[in-house]
Amino acid sequence: MLFGPPPVTVRAVDREALPAALGVGEYRLAVMNAPRRLRLAVAPLLACAALTVVSCAGRAVDPPTARRALAQPVVASPLASSGGAVPLAPNGAVPPSPPAECRGAARDAAEWSCTQQQRFAAARAYISRHVSGQGYVGVVFTDRQTGHTWRFGPTQHEGWTASTIKLAIATDLLRRHRGGQLTLSAADRHDMATMLNFSDEQASDRLWAKFGGEDMLARFRSEYGMVGLHFVPGFTTRTYWGFVKCTTDDLAALASYVFTRLHAADQAYLVSALRGVAPNQQWGIWAAGATQRPGNKDGWSYETDSYGKHWVTNTVGFAGPEERYLIAVMYQVAPSGTLDAGVHTVSDVVALLFGAPIPAPVTVPAPDG
pLDDT in tens, 219-260: 999 999 999 999 999 999 999 999 999 999 999 999 999 999
Is 351 a residue whose pLDDT tops 60?
yes
Q: Tell me how far apart the alpha carbons of residues 265 and 287 are, in angstroms, rounded to a whole number.
A: 26
In Å, how far are 36, 262, 287 from 255, measured between CA atoms? Answer: 63, 10, 18
CB crowding 89-101: b at 16 or more within 10 Å, else e: eeeeeeeeeeeee
Question: Average pLDDT for residues 291-314, to the nearest whole number?
Answer: 98
> pLDDT band at residue 107, thresholds of 50, 70 and 90?
low
Q: What is the pLDDT of residue 103?
A: 61
For the chain, the domains span 15-81, 109-353
Residues in the chain: 369
Split at pLDDT 50, 70, 90, the class of 110 is: confident
pLDDT digits (tens, 9 = 90+) for 153-184: 999 999 999 999 999 999 999 999 999 999 99
Decide if pLDDT at 346 tops 80: yes
Instruction: Give residue-wise pLDDT tens across range 53-73.
Output: 334 344 444 444 433 333 333
Mean residue pLDDT of the chain comes to 81
Q: Round to whole Å and give the CA distance between 199 and 346.
A: 18
Please tell me the pTM assigned to this model: 0.74
The CATH number, out of the four listed (3.40.50.720, 3.40.710.10, 3.60.15.10, 3.40.50.620), of the domain defined by the range 109-353: 3.40.710.10
State yes or no: pLDDT of 102 exceeds 90: no
Q: What is the pLDDT of residue 100?
A: 58
Q: Tell me how far apart the terminal alpha carbons of the chain are, to the nearest angstrom.
A: 68
Position with higher pLDDT, 31 vs 115: 115
